[in-house]
Amino acid sequence: MTSASDVLQRVIAERRDMREGFRPDPVDDAVLTRVLQAAHRAPSVGLTQPWDFLVIRDPARRARVRDLAERQRAAYAASLVPARAARFDGMKVEAIREAPVNIAVTCDPTRGGRNPLGRATQPQMAPYSVACAVQNLWLAARAEDVGVGWVSFFDERELAAELGLPAHLEIVAYLCVGHVDAFPPAPRLALSGWARRRPLAWAVHNETYGHRGLPGEETVNLIDETVAAIGPLDEAAMRDARDHQARLTKPPGSLGVLEELSVRLAGLAGQCPPPLPEPAAVAVFAADHGVHAQGVTPWPQEVTAQMVANFLAGGAVVNAFARQVGAEVSVVDIGVAAELDAAPGLLPRKIARGTADMTQGPAMTPDEARRAVETGIEIARDLVSAGARCLLTGDMGIANTTASAALIAAFTGLPPEQVTGRGTGIDDATHARKIDVIKAALARHGLPRDGADPLEVLAAVGGLEHAALAGFILGAAALRVPVVLDGVIAGAAALVAGAIAPDALGACVAGHRSVEPGHSATVAHLGLRPLVDLELRLGEGTGALLALPLVQGAVRVLHEVATFDSAGVSGKRPGE
């Protein structure tokens, strides 16, 4: 016998946000009443029941509401990068006219009088209560075999005016309700590749935020779990890609490095051809460095926060290049010394207000380094879950080339003189000072050292952005998504990631060769071939963005170029 719990879990698992497939036949009044009754039984702060349900069947009114939604949809589409916009253009996002019933669910934040229980201290509990009612409605509808679609494309006050609502009411949800041809096996956004679900174990925290794990199970070690998911490139897919390249209408090997890149990306994806690496997302990890106090750069530390503001305003080189190649830019505050105001595109993930001075002690505590790596892993998963199919590294942090050179020397064993560059363009005296500072830091921590724990090395002389970038690379590799590396800061982070999980390098593409000497040493040590060599040393993700079209072109060849057989073109004669 099926238990009530089993039935409820099935209804929850099979609930879908329906956008299409609605039938025109009406919903029975008794069924609709039962659905609304379930919504009305939802918990509410102070038992105020701040919701009301406006049932709309009139085709003319639904057509006007649909026009309002279409304007908002168009505005959203205009904000997307081209690859996202193209995918969104073919996506059905509402069924306002197709569904026979629309329901506007409103919130009255004044219901219950002056001081209802619980709302005085938590006034936002009124709309939260209404959200509970919406969830009840949605589940009850699914149990009745009725589909529900939640419309999110509307201006709340514009819609309220169209519906003739009193000014003090707020619209929490606008729902399309009706019988459907079929419920899809999974959410449409997942089936279309627009987004993915997060694992439950990543969302459950025991006692302290960050201590993840399911009830009764061991705390999840995010780094260990991610590393365990990283595997080598798929040899069969790579063999298929090489065979396919040999059949394309071009001389074998004529695309040079791009051919081998396409083969590697097929191996990463485990299929040939691999998915097109678009949409692409660049994450700019920003942090400050305590070693700045040692006079390694003439630039004031405040520039880090100022440049973050410039990124968010869209005025930096990374923004210009991202617009040109159609990539989305997110800025991650992983350790900026200043407090940053909330802004669209800013992900506040501050671990500390910059690192400590590596010449006086470890730059980070072991916990700070671990948390920063975990944050990078999460950012990678979040961007991929939101639909990104290629990740690009970005960075910002005054004095971060000093920490990069220290990491490169520690992991490659090369002397600081060979891996320390001029960063933002320092003079000879400052360059000499920078080398001496790196030598002092390495000596203090006994680096380089055979068998050193990569995370200990990272904590000793790295930066918070290096730690987060290392996690970002590990996260991309675990998800089998390519990550295009920028310059010397990303290269130093890749050394950390490669030391933790060597197979993670299979996901890495060296976007360019920086003029910084440490970067040439890094890509040689990692066995990566830079795609672009333009004597860049800006950072921000700029070199990775310039290389992105090459990465995408390498894969597009496998998708779109005809074979000799399909095009009716004669191939090279055997023996010639």
> Which residues are catalytic, by number?
540
Whole-angstrom distance, CA of residue 281 vs CA of residue 334: 17
**CB–CB of 48/129 below 8 Å?**
yes
Tokens of 236: 């069969």
Whole-angstrom distance, CA of residue 143 vs CA of residue 131: 19
CA angle, corner 122, sides to 121 and 127, nearest 5?
A: 150
Whole-angstrom distance, CA of residue 287 vs CA of residue 277: 28
Tokens of 248: 């394309």
Q: Would you list the DSSP string of 76-106?
A: HHHTS-HHHHHHHHT-----TTTSSEEEEEE
Please state whether 166 falls in left (phi above 0), alpha (psi between -120 and 50) or beta.
beta
Distances (CA, A) of 473 to 205, 476, 519: 24, 5, 17
Cα atoms in the Cβ-side hemisphere of radius 13 Å centred on 379: 36
Name the 3-class secondary structure at 347: strand
Q: Which residues pair with 502 in a beta bridge?
A: none
Q: Which residues pair with 284 in a beta bridge?
A: 331, 394
Tokens of 149: 């679609």
Cis peptide before 273 (omega within 30 of 0): yes
What burial class does residue 258 get, using C-beta atoms within 10 Å of its C-beta: 0-12 exposed, 13-18 middle, 19+ buried? Answer: middle
**CB–CB of 126/107 below 8 Å?**
yes
State the residue for tokens 């390519």.
482
Q: Which residues pair with 392 in a beta bridge?
A: 282, 484
What's 462's DSSP letter? -
In what side-by-side order are the strands of the sheet with 101-107? Answer: 51-56, 101-107, 170-178, 147-151
What's 250's DSSP letter? S
Task: Specify the amino acid at residue 64.
Answer: R
**CB–CB of 318/252 below 8 Å?**
no
